[in-house]
Amino acid sequence: MSISMSSASVPIFVSMLGNLSKCLAKARAHAEAKKFDPNVLVTVRLAPDMLPFKNQIQIACDSAKLCVARLTGTDAPVFEDNEATLSELEARIAKTLAWLESVPREKLDGTEEKQVSVPRRNSEPLKYSGEQYLKHYALPNFFFHVTTAYALLRHNGVDLGKADFLGGR
């Protein structure tokens, strides 16, 4: 009756990335209504030394993808970080969703004790058990980038609310 690794990962990634994709569609509609180029939003930042919007989307996608790849030992497709339009960023989310849905969910179950290693640029990799990795690295990091993307759209005037972030109900 306790929580499975599959149920604590893919359905959350899928629902949040789906919500995020709808936020991007609203951002495009907002730009059209205001008659500005929607792709201006691709490079907006909250601070000059923070990553721009496009990277927030790319990393949100990759953090979900890499979580599932690392836990299941599946090779994930490598997506070039070459998106330059909101539509291309929506396509990045769609490709990520399609891959997440393609991995058999049962491969995630039983990975609680699996050794997971997260490479870092300038230091030794982080080592986790699968369960610690999911709860204390993959999900917080995923939510960080999804929320930052949402915050960037709100900061730039797109009419979104918490229900767009949380989705559905």
Positions in the binding site for its own copies (CB under 8 A):
1-5, 7-8, 11-12, 15-16, 46-47, 50, 109-110, 112-113, 126, 131, 134-137, 139-141, 143-144, 147-148, 150-151, 154-155, 157, 162, 165-166, 169
We find the least distance from the C-beta atom of residue 110 to its own copies, in angstroms, to be: 7
Q: Coil, helix or strand for 37? A: coil
Of the pair 47, 78, the CB lying nearest its own copies is at 47
Quote the CA–CA distance of 46 and 139 in Å, as a whole number.
Answer: 22
What are the residues facing 128 on neighbouring strands? Answer: 116
Least distance between its own copies and beta carbon 57 (Å): 15
Give whichever of 96 and 148 is closer to its own copies, judged by the CB atom.
148
Q: With H, G, I as helix, E, B as strand and everything else as coil, classify residue 129.
A: strand
Closest Cα to residue 156, out of 38, 55, 17? Answer: 38
Q: Measured from the CB of residue 94, what is the shortest distance to its own copies in angstroms?
A: 21
Q: Closer to its own copies by CB, 85 or 143: give it.
A: 143
CB of 4 to its own copies, least distance (A): 5
Phi and psi at 94, nearest 5°, equal: -60, -40
Cα distance from N-terminal residue to C-terminal residue, the chain: 25
